[in-house]
Every structure is written in C-alpha cells, then in structure tokens.
Chain A
Amino acid sequence: NAGVIQTPRHKVTGKGQEATLWCEPISGHSAVFWYRQTIVQGLEFLTYFRNQAPIDDSGMPKERFSAQMPNQSHSTLKIQSTQPQDSAVYLCASSPGQVNTQYFGPGTRLLVL
C-alpha cells in the first residue's frame, strides 16, 4: 500500500531557474496539502486542494509560487525564478477527507544555488 509519493527527492537549481515538484497522493484521498520545512521557520502550510479544487492558498508566497491539481492522482508545486531563500524541504500530504488526518510524503529537498 503505497504512501504519498513525491518526486524528485532532491533537486538542485540555479538562482532564477524554475522548479517543479510533483506529488502523488494516496489513492482515494480527496485532500492534498503542501507544506514547506526549514530549520529556521519550521513546518509551514502553503496550500491545499479538496477534490482537485483549490481551497486555501493563504500560505503561498504571492509571487513565483503556484500549485495545481489537474487530476486526482497528482499535484504540482511550481516555483518560478527560484531564490536561495526558497531552499527547503517541500512536503506533500494527503487526507481521506472525512477527517483532517494528514499523511505526509518523504518530501523534496530543494537547494537553490
């Protein structure tokens, strides 16, 4: 029974380049969440979808960050013009939807040089 799948596990980009992170939620889960984890800021909520519809993006930086969920089996987080301060572990979680029980993936470690 696969958990949340995130690809790639590691990504290194140069400053100003674009980064796209992928998440495959647990099959049958209707809610997908994105969080960011850094040593300084800890775990921060970014955005979430329910039944593919965006519900809350209050944690997303207004510029350069965007998230989509084109179908129930994957979601993407795109960062344009990456900056060194975007370096973090980006975590995706999914929930079955009836209760707020979130299961996290292993994360994508993004390093912007």
Chain B
Amino acid sequence: QQQVRQSPQSLTVWEGETAILNCSYENSAFDYFPWYQQFPGEGPALLIAIRSVSDKKEDGGFTIFFNKREKNLSLHIKDSQPGDSATYFCAADASSGSWQLIFGSGTQLTVMP
C-alpha cells in the first residue's frame, strides 16, 4: 500500500521551462510535506516544505501548490536549468506521534540545455 504517490516517474523539460512534479497521498492526517532533491551518490537534500494549513509555498524558483481537499500537491520548478536535473522526492509526515517521513517513489527530472 503506497501512501504517497508521485507522477510522472520521469520528466524531461527544456532549459528555461517550468517543470511540474505531482504528488498525492491517502492519509488525511498527514500535515507536513517536504520535497527533497537527490543527486546520484548523495543523500536527499531538503528543498522546500509546506504544512497543510497553507495552499502555497514559494522559495526562490520553487513553488508548492497544495490542495487539501483533493489530497494532492505539486512542485513547480520555474526557469529549469540543467543543474536541476535530479530525482525529486515528495514526503509526508506520518503524524501519528512519530516523525517518520513516508516517501514517494520519486520523479527523475532531466533538464535539456
């Protein structure tokens, strides 16, 4: 049972375009959603996060749009650069008293120059 789902599995965009990565979840108790960026051979790096009381969060060229009613969110990467090519993970706080994060399977983003 996959509690956090990501789509697409892979995404290719051209340099300068906006990349849109999608995430949905099943458990309505989830209330904290971080996105992580991971390059090969490295650990995941926290990119941006949102709490369920908000519907939008911006940080630099990264924006999260959150829809609590539909239980989905998306990460928009504006003006994508080849250096943004990485795997992006959506995660959710289990919110059961534990702070374990439940991760989606990731979206592999390729930005073509």
CB nearest neighbor in A for B44: A104
B53: min CB distance to chain A, Å: 13
A85 CA to B93 CA, complexed, in Å = 27
A9: min CB distance to chain B, Å: 9
Chain A residues near B29 (CB-CB < 8 A): none
Chain B residues near A12 (CB-CB < 8 A): none
Chain A residues near B89 (CB-CB < 8 A): 43
A40 CA to B111 CA, complexed, in Å = 25
- CB contacts under 8 Å to A, within B25-72, are 32, 34, 36, 41-46, 49
Decide: A101 and B49 in contact? CB cutoff 8 A: yes
A71 CA to B89 CA, complexed, in Å = 31
B56: min CB distance to chain A, Å: 19
A35 CA to B46 CA, complexed, in Å = 15
Among the listed A6, A91, A102, which residue makes an inter-chain contact with B46, where contact means beta carbons less than 8 Å apart? A102
Decide yes or no: A102 and B43 within 8 Å by CB, A42-B106, A43-B89 being known contacts.
no
Q: What class of interface size applies to chain B in its complex with A?
A: 20 to 34
- CB contacts under 8 Å to B, within A29-61, are 31, 33, 35, 42-45, 48, 50, 55-56, 58-59
Q: Please tell me if B10 contacts chain A, counting CB pairs below 8 Å.
A: no
B96: min CB distance to chain A, Å: 9
A62: min CB distance to chain B, Å: 17
Decide yes or no: A91 and B43 within 8 Å by CB, A55-B98, A59-B100 being known contacts.
yes
Chain B residues near A99 (CB-CB < 8 A): 32
Residues of B within 8 A of A (CB): 32, 34, 36, 41-46, 49, 89, 91, 93, 98-106
Residues of A within 8 A of B (CB): 4, 6, 31, 33, 35, 42-45, 48, 50, 55-56, 58-59, 91, 93, 95, 99-107
